[in-house]
């Protein structure tokens, strides 16, 4: 089980969503994709995409305007 | 998740091409299929080297307005149209080129970004794509 990290710090719409999707497409089943970023709307929208894709949201944390989302494929 | 988004890209202005590519990439990112049907002024943007060449749809002011908006977008960390188009292609989005526009405007296949275009087609293909789409837009 690999862990794939995606850094979208400083990026805005739609990049965090698109980069998350690109990483999830490349990941194998069971892999964990960890996305970090600062774009406020993406913190809400990446979990929406995870739900639409039928995947598992493991964790969502935010500290000082930087959020971290972990997804299992 | 099932579902599909089909967008007619009729406009060639920079801001409108941004809208089309952002929505289309969003659809792919949320797990939908997406098709972009480029026609008229939109198709001009698929000519080699022309993607970023469109003016602003309002307050272009001979390019000054566009320059100011581009500068602000860069500061905000917004992606270039080229990056959005490449992402769209990488995520499996379909790019369709209107062949009637090509005839009318004298555009040849070799003038266009042929490597990105899935098909050269007409209204029948748009309807075929749109009839199974839950989201369809004309931009």
What residue in B sits closest to A50 (Cα-Cα)? B30
Distances (CA, A) of A70 to A43, A57, B127: 11, 6, 39
Catalytic residue of the set A1, A2, A13, A18: A13
Q: Which chain B residues are closer than 8 Å to A16 by Cβ? A: none
Q: What's the rounded Cα separation, in Å, for the pair A49 and A65?
A: 21
> pLDDT band at residue B10, thresholds of 50, 70 and 90?
very high
Contact at CB, A12 and B31, closer than 8 angstroms? no
Q: Which chain A residues are closer than 8 Å to B90 by Cβ? A: 22
To which residue do tokens 């202005």 refer? B13
Fold of A3-72: Translation Initiation Factor IF3 (3.30.110)
Distances (CA, A) of B136 to B33, B41, B82, B127, B131: 12, 19, 23, 10, 9
pLDDT on residue B49: 97
Taking the mean position of all CA atoms in its chain, how far away is CA A51? 12
* Rounded mean pLDDT, B122-134: 94
Q: What's the rounded Cα separation, in Å, for the pair B91 and B34?
A: 9
The yes-or-no answer on residue A8 being catalytic is no
pLDDT on residue B125: 94
Q: What's the rounded Cα separation, in Å, for the pair A61 and A36?
A: 9
Q: At A4, list the tokens.
A: 């794939």
Q: Is the pLDDT of residue A48 over 70?
A: yes
Q: Which chain B residues are closer than 8 Å to A10 by Cβ? A: 77
CB-based contact, A33 to chain B, within 8 Å? no
- Tens-place pLDDT, residues B29-40: 999 999 999 999
Q: Cβ(B40)–Cβ(B10) under 8 Å?
A: yes
Q: How far off is chain A from B100, nearest CA to CA, in Å? A: 32
Q: Is the pLDDT of residue B26 over 80?
A: yes
Residues in Cβ contact with B65 at an 8 Å cutoff, skipping those fewer than 6 apart: B56, B58, B59
Count other Cβ atoms within 10 Å, centred on residue B3: 15
Residue B79 DSSP symbol = P
What residue in B sits closest to A26 (Cα-Cα)? B91
Contact at CB, A53 and B25, closer than 8 angstroms? no
pLDDT on residue B94: 97
Contact at CB, B78 and A12, closer than 8 angstroms? yes
pLDDT on residue A1: 82
CB-based contact, A41 to chain B, within 8 Å? no
- Out of B29, B76, B90, closest to residue A49 by CB: B29
Q: Is the pLDDT of residue B2 over 80?
A: no
Q: What's the rounded Cα separation, in Å, for the pair A24 and A65?
A: 24
Q: Cβ(B22)–Cβ(B84) under 8 Å?
A: yes
β-strand partners of A4: A33
**E strand or H helix at A70, and its extent?**
strand A66-72
Whole-prediction pTM: 0.93
Q: Is the pLDDT of residue B61 over 60?
A: yes
Domain map of chain A by residue range? Answer: 3-72
pLDDT on residue B1: 53
Q: Cβ(B109)–Cβ(B115) under 8 Å?
A: no
Domains for chain B: give ranges and CATH numbers.
4-138 (3.40.1260.10)
- Out of B31, B77, B87, closest to residue A49 by CB: B31
Q: At B139, list the tokens.
A: 């931009």
Q: Which chain A residues are closer than 8 Å to B30 by Cβ? A: 17, 21, 48-49, 52-53
* Rounded mean pLDDT, B53-75: 94
Q: What mean pLDDT is reported for chain B?
A: 96
pLDDT on residue B33: 97
**E strand or H helix at A59, and its extent?**
strand A56-63
């Amino acid at each position: 089980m690999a862990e794939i990290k995606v850094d979208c710090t400083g990026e805005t719409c739609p990049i965090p969503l698109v980069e998350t999707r690109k990483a999830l497409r490349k990941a194998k089943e069971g892999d964990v994709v960890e996305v970090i970023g600062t774009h406020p709307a993406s913190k809400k929208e990446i979990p929406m995409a995870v739900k639409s894709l039928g995947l598992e949201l493991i964790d969502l944390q935010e500290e000082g305007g930087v959020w971290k989302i972990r997804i299992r494929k | 998740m099932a579902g599909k988004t089909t967008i007619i890209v009729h406009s060639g202005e920079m801001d409108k091409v941004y809208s089309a590519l952002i929505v289309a990439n969003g659809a792919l990112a949320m797990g939908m299929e997406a098709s972009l049907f480029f026609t008229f002024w939109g198709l001009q943007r698929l000519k080699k080297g022309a993607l970023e060449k469109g003016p602003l749809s309002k307050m272009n002011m001979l390019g000054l307005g566009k320059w100011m908006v581009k500068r602000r977008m860069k500061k905000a960390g917004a992606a270039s149209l080229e990056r959005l188009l490449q992402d769209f292609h990488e995520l499996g989005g379909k790019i369709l080129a209107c062949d009637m526009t090509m005839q009318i405007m004298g555009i040849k296949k070799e003038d266009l970004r042929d490597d990105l275009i899935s098909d050269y087609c007409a209204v029948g293909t748009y309807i075929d794509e749109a009839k199974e789409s839950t989201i369809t837009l004309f931009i």
